[in-house]
Amino acid sequence: MPLRRIAYRAIRPLLFRFDSEEIHRFSLQALRMAGGSGAGRAMAGLAGGASLEGADVVIAGLRFRSRVGLGAGFDKDAVALRGWAALGLGFAEIGTVTPLPQAGNSRPRLFRLPADGALINRMGFNNAGAKAAARNLAAARRRLPPDFVVGVNIGRNAKTAADDTIRDYLAVQQRLAPHADYFAVNVSSPNTPGLRDLQTPKHLRALLDALADAGQRLGPARPIFVKLAPDMLPGEMEAVLEAVLATRAKGLILANTTISRDRLAAPGELAAEAGGLSGAPLLTGTRGLVRRARTLVGDRLAIIASGGIGSGQDAVTLIAAGADLVQLWSGLVYAGPGLIGETTRAVRPA
């Protein structure tokens, strides 16, 4: 077992004694402070243990300094980007960002399932809004490494009427376009009522076409990725991918959290908490989704695999299934920051 993983495992029981959302908030603030000083960035680099030499790849017209990035939902408001870069990630996806600030669902809303290496969340797109995200990202840009890619995951406010949904996505795109390298269109979170209805081919095409048209008017085009749910039936997935291929989207993110609770070891009352499940139980499903999608789309779309990565070998499995890039989230909670270096080494281009 890698030394960094052993060291993190020694302190993890202490961290897990505290409320999961409070530890999440504390971790972000610590990482924000670390990213603000040379000594802090050096310490973060040691903790992450990633060597980026020879790890860069070009995907969807963007050069990523490595295949390993941060999934959306961890740093919603772009408060710790310099810290994420210092840890050795190749890219980070902020958000989900909505036009207006919103508090999200009531607490508690983030739960650990240690027996499964998993989390359940029903955060509900809690974020400070597009204006704050743009301000934070603009400030970070001046000090980020030039080869660190930042994606912006965009969504709609919970109280937005169905007829105004596209307007919400366009508002975030317009506000963040000067600062984003790519956009991730979130139509798959289980925690915003009605959001997954946007995955139907008709609605999805209308949304992606509107974003592509608006993007052309906002300057250099930012690639658009579509983040899909893992809970689609086989026939539904084929129809959705055909719809995406008919637009100017450049890639897929597979996948969001799942509403499934199959074969969990956690106690029944904990496993039954409402929200999306993430972490180790998703790995097999993510691999299947990536493999099916790659078979269906060939090389016409890039694929980011997100879900279930807890080791370097997990990341290798998803790259072998057809993913171009991978994202970490829940695995960092259970394996610690050393997972960044472990996965970066494992999926370094040949």
The token pair that represents 275 in the structure block: 């929200």
DSSP string, 202-230: HHHHHHHHHHHHHHHHTSSPPPEEEEE-T
DSSP string, 78-105: --SHHHHHHHT-SEEEEEEE-SS-B--S
How are beta strands 149-154 and 118-121 bridged, if at all?
unpaired
| Residues 6+ positions from 233 with CB-CB distance below 8 Å | none
The token pair that represents 240 in the structure block: 């959705």
Contact yes or no for 185/226 (Cβ under 8 A): yes
- Which of these, 91, 100, 166, 165, lies nearest to 131 by C-alpha position? 100
**How far is residue 27's CA from residue 29's CA, in Å, rounded to a whole number?**
5
- Which of these, 213, 180, 3, 222, lies nearest to 92 by C-alpha position? 180
Residue type, 342: E
Contact yes or no for 78/133 (Cβ under 8 A): yes
Q: Does 189 qualify as catalytic in the annotation?
A: yes
**How far is residue 222's CA from residue 325's CA, in Å, rounded to a whole number?**
17
Selecting among 20, 27, 66, 189, the annotated active-site residue is: 189
Contact yes or no for 195/257 (Cβ under 8 A): no
**How far is residue 343's CA from residue 326's CA, in Å, rounded to a whole number?**
9
Contact yes or no for 231/197 (Cβ under 8 A): no
Q: Which residues are catalytic?
A: 189
